[in-house]
Chain A
């Protein structure tokens, strides 16, 4: 069974631009969560989608948004990028209906210059 796939692995963007990251969950998993990892703040929860609906949201500004498609693939978008958005963005996949066991992708390393 294939694992969680995140694309791209690396991105370099300029301040003020926007970026879209993609996550394909494990087959059969309906929940996708996004996390931001930085040296200063550690791992922080962004949001969770289940069956195309946002079910949970963390404490991030509205510049951070996401969506989920009918095949459970998810995208997250960050608009008006700031230097502080530089981070490793991790996607986690779980069944979502029973058992909160989450499996993570390799992450997308975003650098904002």
Chain B
């Protein structure tokens, strides 16, 4: 699995967009980019994933660069409840992969009033 690099912490004003970057320069062609978050004292929660096209769901948008070496998770209107640790994971869900996740240190997002 490709290694990912994220900034350790970020701040965002409530109501503004939060843009969380992730570098995955060694990602291989069959590896997806997954984002999870962990709110204090809870288990991680899935947010979104993508391979090479931009993706959007009710929680967030995922922008993947054309060379797939980096991506950005966008929370369009951050609220205080979005304060959490955000994990970017490169993972391949194909033949031979069991779905296990290798977590890095993630980015602690602090949303401020």
> Do A and B make up one complex?
no
